[in-house]
Amino acid sequence: MNKEQAKKRIEELRKKTEYYAEKYYDEDKPEISDFEYDMLMVELRNLEKEYPEFISKESLTQKVGGHVKEGFEKVKHEVPLQSLQDIFSLEEIDDFDERIRKKAEENGIKEVKYVVETKIDGLSAAIEYKDGKFVRGATRGNGLVGEDVTQNLKTVKTIPMEINDKINITVRGEVFISKDDFEKMNQEREENEEELFANARNAAAGSLRQLDSKITAKRPLDIYIFNVQKIEGKEFNSHFEELEYLEKLGFNVNPVRISCTTLEEVKAAIEKIGEMRENLTFGIDGAVIKVDNLKFREILGTTVKTPRWAIAYKYPPEQKETTLKDIVCQVGRTGVITPMAILEPVKVAGSTISKTTLHNEDFIKEKGLKIGDTVVIQKAGDVIPEIVKVVEEKRTGKEQNFEMPRICPVCGAEAVREEGESAVRCTGIECPAKLFRNLVHFVSREAMNIDGLGENIIGQLLDRELIHNISDIYELEFEEIASLKKNGKKFAQNLIDSINASKQNDLYRLITALGIRHVGGKASKVLARKYKTIDNLMNASYEELSEINDIGEVMANSIREFFLQEQTIDLINKLKEAGVNTEAIQEENTDNRFEGKTFVLTGSLERFTRKAAEDIIEKFGGKTSSSVSKKTDYVLAGEEAGSKLTKAQSLGVTIISEEEFEKMTQ
């Protein structure tokens, strides 16, 4: 590579690493694996070393990745939160040890000790205590300036609000989510059709950097403290001594720390951590080697980005070959059909892998997978097994292509993939795999509003096989319900009354309860007003539906497909037999003063809830929208109205207060 080629490649690498670092540190949405990113950084570092004239302060080799997220107060770190230089071979540990011992000899230091610790895969934070009380916490940010996440850190149960000594101290720790908690979070997100977290580190980072601490409080964050950044009135000789003191103060200290006096002991410690990483409850991405003598650390000093007294050894991802024996499909609680790889069992990173998710049909096509292929697998973030690639040279010609099913493997209903989506879904409303979720939605407040029939009771009814489909709700008997609770007669009567009351609901509630994809409460009201009965709606054509304002082609297609399903027809017939109302209730009110008018609600309303305001607008023939445009007639603005109010002002849209709205509706 000549000089010009090196310059061009360095520029390419800087752009790439900056982009991937932004995705990783700022957006918590990595696009490549940690190992792939590390290899780009190694290439960049080596090229800059070979061609030092091209080194720039803006290169990520010279600064810490990460920026302060908008919405957080900035915190200037009194002691910088530096990153560590990563190494990937034992030979580099030799080089590090040689430099350290040479410097020790030059300064008359006879003994060199190291501490080897786990490199926890999380988000670094600095936590300040005044007179022993927690006063502030901040993320690392760019190492010099971080984000004030004090309120969020207060929700982490393992961070003491008061320590066992009335001192002023700033400590540094790693916020993380345990392996088990991470798997549970992703399982819940998959069931709720939410985007999965890429790995535990980004889940922890995204949770800690929430602008709303109530969201952070719901996430299972934990922390291990691994350093004293600053302390008043005390001095320590060694890092190991510091860690023991931190434990006495009540901190949750990094549990894996091994004291070493020789290079061989350091390498043995790294190997030991590598062997135990699979059994650790938290994720790690390496081992950290630190000089133990704190005064010697001061002599060694730091660069702009990294300390010279510590390095991080990164373990390579372990990969193994195995056979893709079959691909089977599972149906989730929301109807998403997920392909699953059945593998010839193989041991990877300490555990036996026999299956792994293939996500969706796009993933299968992208990897070029065929049943019978020899594939390479590894554990993503040392937690989730994944197929990396196909070993095409080992194909025999007997491999078979795989196609996603077009009927549900559980209930036989049509399985569809809508335009713009990657998931294939079961459309059957009576599919056993979807039953729990469908029941929860059917009885919810926005739908049939059956008070007392919550998730716990629905779970019990299913476990005892007292209900097998939605219409069975209306066949429940008093004694069956009473048996669910101790002294449950009053509960049973209240629930029976609520179930019976739901039979008289307006048609729009039934349409909402059916859970037609893309059809929410507003669209249900439009459909109920238009068609008057469920039968009329069931017989509506796609062309007719797509011409209705607020419905459109996507929703029209979803409605038509839903009512063509045999399971849907069967359920509607059963609900009719149970006495559930399937007609729109004629409203006595004929006041359509808001007919043809569109309202947008913004800010915090004091006199009305948003739902109440929307109901009033719809009662008088108007409609609400979530966005402001030239077609908006009124913007009802409460306290702390933001961008919607600004846009309304720029477009000249009429802005009204709650008081003015109240007068308009009297």
Q: What is the 3-state secondary structure (H, E, C) of 98-128?
A: HHHHHHHHHCCCCCCCEEEEEEECCEEEEEE
Quote the pLDDT of residue 203: 87
Quote the pLDDT of residue 364: 93
In the residue annotation, 347 being an active-site residue is answered as: no
What is the rounded CA–CA span in Å between residue 440 and residue 333?
11
> 232-242, pLDDT tens digit by residue?
999 999 999 99
Quote the pLDDT of residue 283: 86
Under-70 pLDDT residues of the chain: 24-31, 33-34, 63-71, 193, 349-351, 380-383, 587-590
> 38-59, pLDDT tens digit by residue?
788 888 888 888 888 888 777 7
Of the candidates 67, 121, 64, the residue with the CA atom closest to the CA atom of residue 302: 64
Task: List Cα–Cα distances, 33 to 38, 61, 506, in angstroms.
Answer: 9, 18, 52
Of the candidates 458, 425, 423, 465, the residue with the CA atom closest to the CA atom of residue 442: 458
Residue 411 near residue 428, CB atoms below 8 Å? yes
Quote the pLDDT of residue 383: 59
Quote the pLDDT of residue 310: 96
Query: Out of 103, 119, 370, 434, which one is annotated catalytic?
Result: 119
Quote the pLDDT of residue 470: 94
Domains of the chain by start residue, with CATH: 3-54 (1.10.287.610), 74-313 (3.30.470.30), 318-426 (2.40.50.140), 427-577 (1.10.150.20), 598-664 (3.40.50.10190)
